[in-house]
Structure 1
């Protein structure tokens, strides 16, 4: 694929010169991955973000290392716009690869708002609709292409240098030295100790959990849910263990509920506690369903899915101001990877630059300090690394595949497309397996949503 057909038609009609350069094709990572992978000067790269309200779509064109300021745009346009969903963008830019939307709104009959600093550029690099090529234009040609567009200061910030190479041990050392990391809550620690004792009984687990009325109520609610269709009445944790859920599943869901109490983050937003629980429960469910097909422990797979995103909670707990900005950036840029947004928010501070390694690594460090099982540590720590090859790879890949499938439902903390087929192949699964997984998720979606709402409130 060269440039998108509409883009080439538009530029040729205008008589504007441009150059196409080949980049390493990685549709999973979008524009960000194309730029990082081929050594292009990020300062010259521009991005297009499509926003929508009841009056239609607006295309915002801005530097790569910035994001639309929805408040500033609302003040300028009088419109309260929100990012398009992946599905909406796919329909509107049907001749473009996902994540490679070009800035030429006129080619699609869409009005454009341009960050005015771009009008000073001598040269710009941009998506042209293809996942294997980028377009280069001289500043003059770009300004002519943007004729008729509005311009203004419409971005949140211009930052985001890539972090220097830093080892996991250095990140862990700096985190513990600079910040006070939350200890594992006492109830969670007791539950974790019980799970490591092969002689522990259902009665002992119930006694530990029932010291906490809130966790008790959540476990009973979980056992009574339509997820399990148990025909009888469940009135105690011990009944939930022995009749419906089993020892390990009760222990793991209680461990998750108790562990979350170590963190204080807002409920709202795509990274807030409401969406955290929704994402975690869905991922745990899918990971658990994948486990028998992949020959690994079902209960451990559930725990990997449930706890894989704890790094976001730690980031929100330690850095509430930055987390608020990250939450806003996530809402405004659904097609951008979390790694890119984390680099943007934390890349300027010398002390915080280690956080540009991603929330996954941070979560893995926390799980290691809390002495979680090794597969849980690894699934959290490297779930953002699609090319991971190492210990407990099967658990990691299951979580990655679960996240990729859940993106199709709008569940998760990012929506840049993943290569579902590649991940499935790594686990020895085919399209039939994936279709059955999707059907399983659809059948329990309402129950998982209800349970997530209950856990976050």
Structure 2
């Protein structure tokens, strides 16, 4: 029998059915999968992880990539990959690189991905380079008895290991490798006008009215039921002075004009339709949260509106990879965006700099565009839980808003947040959640209509 000795003894002792599939000697599991001619989707593999508490085996499909965040959610442990030398010590009866995904045979705790647990048939390494094991789903689960089951992977093709880069390196490389889009001229003029403390509503209105499309969108916003203004609004200046106020008009106009720097498809969970919906809802919630925690409403609105611009930059610079990311987002709802971005962009040729996440590169873009510091920080940090530091309130407002939006299926993240910690960080009581939800319910139809008009 060509199975590794400990695996063979374990299966015999437990009376577990399997079939051994002899094959010509190969040097790696990848080679065995290819040489077998069997469906790749039916193969499973073992990934060995370790922390101070010891080694854990994660069992998942061969064509999947383990998600460290998901493993942490299931185990509560920050586990790191085991080295090849450490693996050889544990699996001394196996050929190097041929670890059988039956941890119980080696007295290891096991976590198993739910895709594996549902499989009707699997193939896996026998522990040697000259045979495979075939097993039906029932026998496999008998062999993995006692394993913890959960969602562990990013579904879809993987791109290997990722390189970690500092934010300074990312900023430097982004500007050297790629032609980052400048802020559109109209957006730049609006930004400069808002920085002038003596600017008037008339000056802002005249600037917006240079652009008929922007004028129509601002007027539609002012006339919406979001504000319930009882009278007629016939000009942008009336929208500024009677309904919206200088800051709100300036910020929504800045957002609309800035988006024109990017070419991104409308469709998909990450497309422009959903981008605008997410951004407008987040801006509304941030604006509502701000007075409850000592923040400035206008600045909070701008943080929420612009926090996801890094996603547009990714789509603009890398349309093919953005399409792949869009597809992965659809089929991996439990996986964090940062893990998906590492999956797509950690592949060398300069693109590994994007594996830090769209938040970080959005912050870099906002810094390049000389936006206010809280806007830069909120964009750059919104993917990182547990932040403490400069402009913390604005970061937490965006994170809390996104947490509430996940419950409605709005945004690009659906994994849970620590809402009590976010409330505590902002000095808010739990009852504020009901108040914010009620406010959002009231304006949801108008936000949806506005988002649709902005993306078209």
Tell me, what secondary structure is at the counterpart of 1:119?
strand
**Quick check: 1:270–1:330 contact (8 Å CA) kept in 2?**
yes
Q: Tell me what 1:151 maps to.
A: none
Q: Tell me what 1:157 maps to.
A: 157
Question: Which one of 39, 43, 47 corresponds to residue 79 of structure 2?
Answer: 39
State the Cα distance separating 1:35 from its structure 2 match.
7.8
Q: Structure 1 runs of 4+ off > 6 angstroms? A: 19-24, 138-143
Structure 1 residues 277 and 42, CA gap change in structure 2 (3 angstroms): farther
State the Cα distance separating 1:433 from its structure 2 match.
0.6
Q: Tell me what 1:274 maps to.
A: 273
Rg bigger for which structure?
Answer: 2
How big is each residue's C-alpha offset from its partner over 1:259-279, in whole Å with a ceiling of 9 and x where there is no partner? Answer: 000000100000000000000
TM-score, structure 1 normalization: 0.72
Q: Which runs of 5+ in 2 are unaligned?
A: 1-13, 17-47, 54-67, 85-100, 102-111, 128-132, 143-153
Question: How many angstroms apart in 2 are the aligned matches of 1:236 and 1:23?
Answer: 66
State the Cα distance separating 1:443 from its structure 2 match.
1.1
**Quick check: 1:270–1:331 contact (8 Å CA) kept in 2?**
yes
**Quick check: 2:190–2:250 contact (8 Å CA) kept in 1?**
yes
Q: Tell me what 2:106 maps to.
A: none
Question: How many angstroms apart in 2 are the aligned matches of 1:360 and 1:394?
Answer: 17
**Quick check: 1:397–1:426 contact (8 Å CA) kept in 2?**
yes
State the Cα distance separating 1:158 from its structure 2 match.
2.3
Output aligned runs, 1:394-413, within 5 Å.
Answer: 394-413=393-412
Note if 1:346 corresponds to 2:351.
no
**Quick check: 1:163–1:357 contact (8 Å CA) kept in 2?**
no
Q: Tell me what 2:314 maps to.
A: 315
Q: Tell me what 1:145 maps to.
A: 140
How big is each residue's C-alpha offset from its partner over 1:157-213, in whole Å with a ceiling of 9 and x where there is no partner? Answer: 12242332x222211110010000000000000000011000000000000000000
**Quick check: 2:218–2:253 contact (8 Å CA) kept in 1?**
yes
Structure 1 residues 23 and 245, CA gap change in structure 2 (3 angstroms): farther
Question: How many angstroms apart in 2 are the aligned matches of 1:22 and 1:121?
Answer: 26
Asked which structure has the greater RCO (Cα within 8 Å, sep 6+), the reply is 1
Q: Tell me what 2:254 maps to.
A: 255
**Quick check: 2:187–2:258 contact (8 Å CA) kept in 1?**
yes
Structure 1 residues 334 and 114, CA gap change in structure 2 (3 angstroms): farther
Question: What RMSD in Å do the two structures reach over aligned CA positions?
Answer: 3.3
Question: How many angstroms apart in 1 are the aligned matches of 2:361 and 2:121?
Answer: 33
Output aligned runs, 1:77-116, within 5 Å.
Answer: 102-103=114-115, 112-113=118-119
Q: Tell me what 2:200 maps to.
A: 201
**Quick check: 2:50–2:79 contact (8 Å CA) kept in 1?**
no
State the Cα distance separating 1:145 from its structure 2 match.
2.7
**Quick check: 1:121–1:139 contact (8 Å CA) kept in 2?**
no
Q: Tell me what 2:234 maps to.
A: 235
Tell me, what secondary structure is at the counterpart of 1:218?
helix
